[in-house]
Structure 1
Amino acid sequence: MAIDTEQDQQGEIARLRAELDAKNAELEALRSRFEAENTDLVHRLDQFRAIFENAASGIAIQNVEGVITAANQTFLGMVGYGRQELLGLPAAAVIHPESAHRTLADAVRQGEAAPLRDERKLVRKDGSSLWVDLTTSVLTEADGTPRGFVCVLHDITARKRTEAATRESEQRLRQLVERLPVLIHAHDAQGNYVFWNRECERVLGYGAAEIIGNPGARALLFPDPDYRRHIEKLHSDASDFAGWEAETAAADGSVKTILWTRISGDSPLPGWAAWETGMDITERKAAENALRASEHEKKLILDTISECVLYQTTDKRILWANRAARALAGGEPKDLRGRRCYAVWHGYKKSCTASPCPVDQALRLGTPVEAEVEGEGGRTWLVKGYPSFAPDGSLAGAIEVATDITGRKRSEEAMRRARDLAENATKMKDEFLANMSHELRSPLNGVLGMLDVLLDTDLDAEQRDCIQTALQAGEGLLAIINDILDFSKLQADKIVLSRRPFRLRHTVRTVCNTFREQSLRKGLDVGYDVDAAVPDTVIGDEGRVRQILFNLVGNAVKFTHQGSVRVRAQILRKGADPRQARLLFTVTDTGIGIPAEQLDTIFDPFVQLNWAKNRKYEGTGLGLGIVKRLVTLMGGIITVESEMGGGTTVHFWVNVELPG
């Protein structure tokens, strides 16, 4: 029994020892596996540390309070901090104020735990900034409780600079396109307007807000449905076009002609599938239409005139001819165009040599030239050549205008012969009048002389009255003969003015005294006034001055029944020469006056006042005509002022010289 018990005990001990050995072996195996796993874990941790430190991306770890607890070398290089400087700082210390908005920590506190990706602007230790692409994830405990955050950062500063440069470039391009003096608009892929520059607004009157994004924009610009469908079909076509004219409705109701060019494919700005540049050619089209209309009108005008008009090149080839020229040449425009003018008109094989050609001379001299040219059939042509210049100033050709002046030349020849005959007749008349005047004056002077002698004899009253009447009639006849002789000399320009010194005051006094007896009989006051500035002696034709005054004072006395007749003389300096002067005379009366309608003709030859054509005022009508011609001959002017019943004033001046 005891033996069994001992055996049982030994067996239990053996079993226990065996179990203990098994446990030790199992424990050894666990220890070996733990050591292996620990070694692997250390290795992996070393690998993680190496990856963490050497990662191309910046990595930072912060606790739930937002304090940085770890950071790799890349992140330290990004922010410019040393490790010991950075660890323990709040994450906000490296975040730029512009990016200090909602973080993952804020989201976690609000019950959200999804990773957060964002672009943030950081601030370096030195104050400079950089942009990063930030991905933030939550680190949790085994039970899911957040214990921190891991932040992975990629430096995108270069990309942001590129984007900023791109945006700036796009902005500059947009501003440039916006301000170009060219119409520019763009469409998206659906054909909607996405751009409408200022020139479009200025020319068409629609603001960008009215066009961009407006599905009915095309209806505004192209109200005609058929025309609009044509436009839409053109825009739906993928091909580009250039130089397409579109009639476009403006906001003010007018229609503008726009010359469009479409460009698709490479777009200068985002969102542009195709864009078009345009030029407002409304005024140019109107000018072209006006020019065509003007050219048509000019052609009509040139075709209706009787002159032959041709346009030629510098080598005398005809480019254009009007209807008269075509009719003369006997051909249509196509028959003349390109032919040389001398071959058309004269059948020559080379340029005209018989006489100088005005067109040749105009081309050579570059100025208009005209000449008379003898043509076939005894006809005479007035040919005018006008050089034509190109816009750059070079000689382009010449315009030839030919007028048939055969009839005019014959008329001129007939008129020349008639003029010669008239001049000969006038010469004969003047010679006859001069001869007859001399022939009449000689016996008449004898008769007057004998009557003067007879008055000195012993006569009774009746005889003396008869002789005085005969003497007055003879003196009147002599005055008429003298007027006729003077007028004929003036007509023939045979009067020569003398230049002798004379005493003007004496001359004026003599004229006034001549009419003293007649004025006393009528109760008139005839007087004169010579200005003190007038020299005692002047140089000129005293006889003609006396003749002018005699006629004017005589008329004044004749037509004045009461009141006075006054003669006034003044001197006027003519210019810088102190020896040249003008004598201004004024003859004033208080007579019956001259009708206003006859003032313009009072100095014409053989003209008398209508109411004066009676025996009381009869005369030849030559006196004032002679006066005007003498005044003009002496370089002066004569004028008259008169009022019916209020008298007459005559002003005239003549040129004289002053003694040195």
Structure 2
Amino acid sequence: MADNEPKSLPTEKARQKTLNALQILNTDPEPAFDQLAQLAAHITEAPYAAISFTGPNEQWCKAEYGWTLGAIPRDQSPCAISVERGAPLIVENAQKHEDIRHLAPVTEDGIRFYAGFPFSANNQTVGALCVAGPESQSLDDSQIELLEGLATQASLHLENRYQINQLKEENAELLIQELGAEMAEEKYRSIFDHVQEGIFQTTADGEFISANPMLARIYGFDSPEELISQMKDVSRELYVDPHRREEFIKIMTERDVIHNFVSQIKKNDGSLIWIAENVRAVRNKDGQLLYYEGTVVDITEKEETEKALRDSELLYHSLVETIPQNIVRKNREGVFIFANQQFCQTVGKPLKDILGKTDYDLSPKHLADKYRRDDMRVMETGEIYDTTEIHTGTGSGEENIYIETVKTPLLDSQGQINGIQCMFWDVTERHQMEEQLAYERDLLNALLDNVPDRIYIKDTESRFIKGSAALAKRLGLKTPSDIVGKNDYDFHPDALAKSFHEDEQRVILTGKPIINKVEQQTDTDGRDIWASVTKVPFTNRSGIATGVIGISRDITALKLAERETARARDMALEAAQMKAQFLAVMSHEIRTPMNGIIGMIDLLLDSDLSEEQQEYAGTVRTSADALLEILNDILDLSKIEAGRLELEKAEFSLRQVIEEAVELHALRAEANHIELHCHIPPALDGQYRGDAGRLRQILLNLISNAVKFTEEGEVQTAVQIIDETNDDVKLQFTVSDTGIGIS
């Protein structure tokens, strides 16, 4: 007979006898057993749990969590095997277990994980507490220990039940009251006081009749007595949402039992927790409600974990649906099992037309082949695939498209790869920006490598970030990279480096540049050099100064040329002064005899001379005047060159100066048959302040030229007012003639 067939041995008979005495087969659910099944599922995080008893031909479920079994043939039940062996049966993968892989729960219901723990009554193994699930799973030592403890609690409960039923059958009411009740109370009290769940009895109005210590601790009281005495209205004092109490009463009225009723409650200290209740209505033989009894479990940690998980999933889905990246998930066969909204927009299809499809349904075959190869590599190696793919433009003028793609393996609860997640997005713009940045960087490097000026960039602490080749050469370095991270104190005397640092910090703090500041420096050979330095703040996109850009131009040759120019200018000025002094002396020396000659000529002209002699003497007098004019002009030019010509400011008659200048040329004009005219407005009569001699000299020169180059006609001298204020007047002098003019 096989191990999993019903036994026809004394042990089997004893088991069935005990089950009959327990009167438990085919009875209604009981909260005590329901709670044990729920706790077992909670401990292992398995989706299914049950407490079942092994009858003659079937395995009958007293309590179920997560599934509905009722009764199944005994020869198809893994629990029957555990009961018959009297030992736990723990199977991580039922398909690979010799004893149960052929059973209906495995072959038909898809059970993969199973763990059964037998319990007993009257020293007979009568049933099993089990947990199960559709995926492979293992249990650690602590989980196994807790499940064994739950099976022990079931055994204690059944033992108590068995003893009471035995006493009833023997009709020993006195013994039941004295001995049986004492034993029952002792065993029940042991469970009642030490079980890790709250147990209670309440009236229909919610007033506590009894409570165990664990319930008091869950609700925040020091003892059951304190809980019972202080909490009188559970709907107001216990439930955060009073409507939950109304819902509780409604369900109990309709069904007399409630499973896993989850609510948020207020503890005695005001803090909030989550609980799960399993309650049944206890009625007398006439159907009248006596009280409610049930269990309470603190599921705050579980609720918070589940809420955190829900929030995390909600956040994940919110992010997935709002980010601009395309996200899809595929199973091992390459079938789409998820796609976000961005992907739907990219392929131009609604989600319902994507799920269940493959890349071959959405993309050209050559691309689908590539995608499938990449997916298989990720699933085979478990390594992340991260690359930038280039999609070449096919039409004329079409540019390449760059796609960033990241593929990661998807894992099931056992850590096995069961698909891939793919995220991709268009990085063409970023690629173009990177190319542009690289181009600009190359331009900058070309500039820094070839420009003769010394160019550098420093951070806010005046440390070099980048420098030109000319700067590296100036500082005696091999390459520009050797300057990075250093400062001016590494290359210059402290006083000079301090000056540089202070200038740069002032530029950074104030935002005001330094333009073409001339600095005297010392080169690597110790020679004095000069530089024209410009420093401007370097700001980021937010306008915050992050450093300084400097340009230093060697102007040593220019400074030396300026020195030579200044020296030449000084020499020329000195020569001009010497020339002026010489001419002044010569003019004085010549003027003295000339004055004597002119005086003698004037005496001669006043004497009795013949007409011919008079003409000759007049000619000599005119020539002498002309020579004096030449001497005056030479002397003035020498003074101008030497920078020593000064204008006088003295009162004079404007009319007198003009008329004298005209009269001096009257004889020559008359000799040439030229008419001289002079026009002075009456408004200009009076005294003026200025240099009358220089004005007379200018007019003499102009009138002389006019008379000289006019063969016939007239020469007119005129003056008019151009502008006038209280203190000053601007005049315009005009000498016009009918001659050839001045070219």
Per the shorter chain, which TM-score range?
0.3 to 0.5
TM-score by length of 2: 0.43
TM-score by length of 1: 0.48
